[in-house]
Amino acid sequence: MARPATAAVRLLTGEREPVRLATTASILLHRLQTIDGVPAEVGDRVLVKDQADPTQNGIYTVSEGEWFRAADARTARTLQKGTTVHTQIGSDNAGRVFEFSADEPVVGSDAITIAPFVPLDISQVVGAVVTLRDETQVLKHATEASAGQAAASASTSAANAGQTAADVASTAANLAGAQAARDASLYGKGIFPTTAAAVGFGVAGFSALVGGAGGTNGTFDLAFTGGAGSGAAGRFVVAGGAVTMILITAPGSYAAAPAFSFAASAGLAGASAAAVLGRNVEVGEYFWTEVSDGIMGMYTVAAGPVAVETGVRTSAAEVVGLIGSRTVGPVLITGSVGGTAVTNTSAYYWPRSLSAVDEFLSSLELGFGAGAGTIHIVIAHAEGDGTLTLVSEQTIPVVAGPSSVNSGLSILKPAGSVMGLQRTGAGTWYYTAGPIPNGESKWFTATVPASHTAKAVDFVNGPQWKATFTGEVGTKARAAYDTANDLVDIVGTEQLVGWPNLVNTGTNTPANYSVVMQTPAPADGYITEIDVGASGAGTANIHVIQYNGDLTVNVISTHQITLANGVNEIPLSIPIAAGECPAISGGGYKFQNSVNPQGIPAWIRSGVLSNGAVVASSTLHRYEVAFTIKTGLIADAARALTGGTQNTGMNLLADADPNGVVDATAIFASAAAAHPNPYVPPGSFALTAMPKSGDGFWGPGKPFVGGRRFFVPARPSLFNLYDGFRAKMAEHIANNDVLCLIADSIGHWALASNGPAHWFNRVTQFANLGIADDEPGMTALRPSSTYTPAFYGVATSGTVSTGTRGPLGESIILADGASLAFTGAYEQVDVHYTRDAGQGSLAFAFDGGAAYKTVNAAGALALDQYSGPSMTGQAVSGNYTLTAVGGPVEITGLIRLGIKVSGSRPRLRSLRAAHGSYTFASFNTARLTSAIVQASYAGGKIVPILALGINDSFGTAPATISTNITAVLNTLEAAAAPRILAMPPTRPSSAWNGSYTGGRTYDAALGAIRQTYRSRNVLTIPIDGFDHIDAGAYQEGLHFSDVGHDNNALRFIEYVAERG
């Protein structure tokens, strides 16, 4: 049985970030539309719960094109039963909480069911323990008595906290309404009605499952009849008319096992299974039970088993305060709609924020204006004489409204304290005129209180703010849970799928007989071993299978193994994605006819497996087969330890030249044919083509195709990075959008050995491999600094000077007769220039010949004029010159597109707007507008990559950094940038820090940058999560070396390909 602590953590953390809206009917999952009476905006989180096809339900992010599932709600674990989400606004759903009720649905194939959540908050479930004995100790009181006790308990708590009579009545009603839902929910979650129930037995599982036939497909509540006891709950799945899975969600307390009833699936006949009892709380584990009216005690289980008191006692109110969460604030958040701007500097408090235990502010919602700003949070102690004494204060950044949700906070509000807000003047905050709802009051002080400052009280003009407070244990539990889940994802899991204690006796399976296990992989991983009982030599096929839900399957991959007499333990390295199932076919392995004491189910077929093959669900036989599925580092370790053994693909490139001299194309092609996942060892490998676009290749090695870097993932993947990256960029490629790097010196140049070695050039080359050898567009053209155009192959002659226009506020001005020159094979060469009175013309020439194009720059002032498209007409490399004729010409950008391969895919366009020492504030509206205009040269929009922040970390306050980032994001969003990506600054070495007076405040700056990006749903590539210092990725403690640039390109490409 699960330990109570683990169950408590699960209770406390089964929630997603709030959604702005929730649907009321089935919708099309694309374009902007009105949801629940409110127009949805790009970037909004929407709970989609009413689809005609329930597999489409879930949490989505709104887009002008196709909607996509939110990052925190894409897997079975993040959508499992009990997960809750709060809705912020809407005509019908504002303020409502919804609960996912399907048991770990496979996203995309299983129905995802969502219903209103009862009770409305976890604290009510825990608080309901005060009435638990009324339901569990032989139901000695009726439901009405339970509700009465709940009201009495709530009344006491309300009086202690200064709440109103209306709150008491509401709490009582909520508790009474939650009676039925609570019966099963508390069993097995660390809370038991009696010590006997805790140390006794409950339903732990099942055996001898017979699927039956004729049932209605779906997921249903499992009924329990007979036996001696009560309290069990569960679900069962019917697919193809038969029961395929049973899940016990609460064990209950039983002296004799109950029987299962599958009546909820209409038409189902012949289904059966035996309930298996197990002890609820094992020796050495802990649980809670009520020891007196409203008081809970903690027990441990000693040998016997016997429950032993620990001496720990707590009241229901303390449990609520410590592990629960609650939301305070009665005023509807509407912003300027129905709201009036707050103009004074008074601090406004909700009395209900007062509590008897320490709490943490975890989320703040307030009615705010169209622009972002800040708000001042005031924590004050409520003195016995009715005055307030300041405890703490701080200003936080606030995103734009009208419903501004600022989550991820962790601000302590000590016991006996209240919270208030004070306007700062940065942004507009609103209140709602008229009586405060529910008859509640507000407190206010003219300024931030000092010591024993008098407060005023009234019942009108409620400020628009709601705060969510989480108890101390709850806050720490959430942090621990997130950390634990991250560790589980990284470290991985090991799962045995099949039968235990295999033998090589019994009956041989017929030729081509197939067995598909009904236990899917829990996460993306690998089949690292198969154990098979056989009595002689032979072969069999191992498959990765996708079950379609209608007793048909599709084959994802097939791998042959060799069998010998005995129990064969065969190491493998076969990728398997979450939700996919392992299978074996071919005959020759053993089974026990009509004997399956474990009741393990399988889908079987008397024939080979293929796409669309029909299977049957069966628990009749035991097959002498067991698969080991591993994920994360556990899988990596297992695969490394079995290197060189059967089917690993680890040594297939051992003969390839790691120095990049001898062409290795044939060896790579042979490896691709021999194994689905060939390992690329350290070294550089020269290729003329990459087999299968790199499908399956992985490792630290660096292939170069035609001299251009081809990236492969560091770990085996189910897709190649080339197609994966271009797939995530597909909409931008199709729309001629431009990927624009907005950056500092690291993005401009420092300290790659040459232009092609810079990480952004690597990305551009990789995306257009086999298409065109493009250069990212240039905007840093002035020749009077360290960052000269010559680094990217551009030289100047004649008299040149520096202007103040363009994306960097630094252009190049060619005097009459001066020129830019460069060499390369380009099908298009163009510039962005300034049109103005007195300007000359710009003549484009190739290899010293006559001008093939001349652009007149004279005329009325117009910025960032595009000279193209100017096709060169050349198919070979040559020397290009751009010369000012008849007067000066100011150039703000240069575009050089390589010769496109005939019949190839469309190109990904890119542009660099980077400058040494620049910060977020450096990119003001004028400079960003210039970048936005230049990025639209082909008819598309800017897709910015914000790679700034290291210069901000020196001498800029975190709040100011956040404000400056917000200004940049607002400008980009106003330009309808379809996507914004970001790369946080990486940690510099201590030596680099020491070169600045006072050092850098890297961690504080990174926190502000990360929080701002998260609050605006910016896709953030976590390059800051890598130790560049010890990895030797820096040239001098801050700027990337060539190794660092290559690593950075890989991390950018891989992260976008997997999560973009």
pLDDT at 779 over 50: yes
DSSP secondary structure code for residue 429 in this structure: B
Query: Distance (Å, rounded) from C-alpha 883 to C-alpha 866?
Result: 16
Query: Distance (Å, rounded) from C-alpha 902 to C-alpha 655?
Result: 34
Query: Distance (Å, rounded) from C-alpha 295 to C-alpha 289?
Result: 9
Q: CB under 8 Å to 1037, separation ≥6 — which residues?
A: 988, 989, 991, 992, 1029
Query: Distance (Å, rounded) from C-alpha 874 to C-alpha 897?
Result: 12
- Residue ranges of domains in the chain: 4-117, 123-187+292-320, 201-279, 328-435, 494-641, 665-718, 728-772+903-1060, 804-899
Percent over 90 (pLDDT), the chain:
46
DSSP secondary structure code for residue 613 in this structure: E
**Residue-level pLDDT at 829:** 97
Q: How many CB atoms lie within 10 A of CB 548?
A: 16
Q: What is the CA radius of gyration of the chain?
A: 33
Distances (CA, A) of 121 to 45, 324, 1059: 21, 8, 32
**Residue-level pLDDT at 262:** 92
pLDDT digit string, tens, across residues 255-277: 899 999 999 999 999 999 888 88
CA nearest to 950, candidates 660, 745, 713: 745
pLDDT digit string, tens, across residues 883-928: 999 999 999 999 999 999 999 999 999 999 999 899 999 999 999 9
| Check whether domain 328-435 has CATH 2.60.40, yes or no | yes
**Residue-level pLDDT at 613:** 93
Q: How many CB atoms lie within 10 A of CB 283?
A: 13
Query: Distance (Å, rounded) from C-alpha 638 to C-alpha 782?
Result: 55
**Residue-level pLDDT at 915:** 93
Query: Distance (Å, rounded) from C-alpha 320 to C-alpha 472?
Result: 11
**Residue-level pLDDT at 544:** 93
Q: Is 372 helix (H, G, I), strand (E, B) or coil?
A: coil
Q: Are 268 and 215 in contact (CB under 8 A)?
A: yes
Q: What is the mean pLDDT of the chain?
A: 83
pLDDT at 82 over 70: yes
CA nearest to 628, candidates 728, 525, 710: 525
Query: Distance (Å, rounded) from C-alpha 971 to C-alpha 944?
Result: 11
Query: Distance (Å, rounded) from C-alpha 740 to C-alpha 909?
Result: 9
pLDDT digit string, tens, across residues 954-1006: 878 999 999 999 999 999 999 999 999 999 999 888 766 554 444 457 888 99
Length of the chain equals 1060
The pLDDT-based confidence of 847 (bands split at 50, 70, 90) is very high
pLDDT at 693 over 90: yes
pLDDT at 120 over 50: no
**Residue-level pLDDT at 993:** 58
Query: Distance (Å, rounded) from C-alpha 830 to C-alpha 820?
Result: 12
pLDDT digit string, tens, across residues 350-361: 998 887 667 888
Q: Do domains 494-641 and 804-899 have the same CATH topology?
A: yes
Query: Distance (Å, rounded) from C-alpha 454 to C-alpha 443?
Result: 10
pLDDT at 398 over 60: yes
The pLDDT-based confidence of 3 (bands split at 50, 70, 90) is very low
What's the CA angle centered on 936, arms 933 and 940, to 5 degrees?
A: 150
The pLDDT-based confidence of 144 (bands split at 50, 70, 90) is very low
Candidate ranges 128-132, 239-243, 649-653, 882-886; pick with highest mean pLDDT:
882-886
pLDDT at 121 over 70: no
Q: Are 325 and 119 in contact (CB under 8 A)?
A: no
**Residue-level pLDDT at 176:** 29
pLDDT digit string, tens, across residues 611-660: 999 999 998 999 999 999 988 777 776 665 554 334 467 778 888 999 99
**Residue-level pLDDT at 906:** 96
Percent over 70 (pLDDT), the chain:
85
**Residue-level pLDDT at 157:** 31
Distances (CA, A) of 951 to 917, 955, 986, 996: 6, 9, 11, 11
Within 732-784, strands assigned E span 738-743
- Tell me the fold of 804-899: Jelly Rolls (2.60.120)
Q: Which of 204-213, 441-450, 1011-1020 has the lowest mean pLDDT?
A: 204-213
Q: What are phi and psi of 155, to 5 degrees?
A: -60, -45
Class of domain 494-641: mainly beta
DSSP-derived pairing of the beta strands 218-225 and 228-239: antiparallel
Q: Which two tokens stand for residue 245?
A: 């899975």
DSSP secondary structure code for residue 841 in this structure: E
pLDDT at 77 over 80: no
Q: How many CB atoms lie within 10 A of CB 262?
A: 21
As a whole number, mean pLDDT of residues 101-112 equals 85
Q: Given strand 403-413, what is the order of strands in its sheet?
A: 325-328, 465-471, 359-367, 403-413
pLDDT at 592 over 90: yes
Q: Are 658 and 684 in contact (CB under 8 A)?
A: yes
Burial class, 386, CB count within 10 angstroms (exposed 0-12 / middle 13-18 / buried 19+): exposed
Q: CB under 8 Å to 560, separation ≥6 — which residues?
A: 539, 540, 541, 542
Query: Distance (Å, rounded) from C-alpha 701 to C-alpha 657?
Result: 11
Q: How many CB atoms lie within 10 A of CB 207?
A: 14
Could you tell me the sign of the dihedral formed by the alpha carbons of 866, 870, 875, 876, in that order? negative
**Residue-level pLDDT at 172:** 30
pLDDT at 510 over 80: yes
**Residue-level pLDDT at 884:** 98
Q: Which two tokens stand for residue 1033?
A: 């990725």
Q: Given strand 738-743, what is the order of strands in its sheet?
A: 909-914, 738-743, 942-947, 981-982, 1019-1020
The pLDDT-based confidence of 603 (bands split at 50, 70, 90) is very high
The pLDDT-based confidence of 371 (bands split at 50, 70, 90) is confident
**Residue-level pLDDT at 1006:** 92
DSSP secondary structure code for residue 991 in this structure: H
Q: Are 1032 and 743 in contact (CB under 8 A)?
A: no
As a whole number, mean pLDDT of residues 522-542 equals 88
Query: Distance (Å, rounded) from C-alpha 692 to C-alpha 719?
Result: 11
pLDDT at 298 over 80: no
DSSP-derived pairing of the beta strands 795-797 and 862-866: unpaired
pLDDT digit string, tens, across residues 464-500: 999 988 765 544 544 444 544 555 566 677 888 998 8
Query: Distance (Å, rounded) from C-alpha 797 to C-alpha 787?
Result: 17
- Tell me the fold of 728-772+903-1060: Rossmann fold (3.40.50)
**Residue-level pLDDT at 523:** 83
Q: Which two tokens stand for residue 238?
A: 């019917």
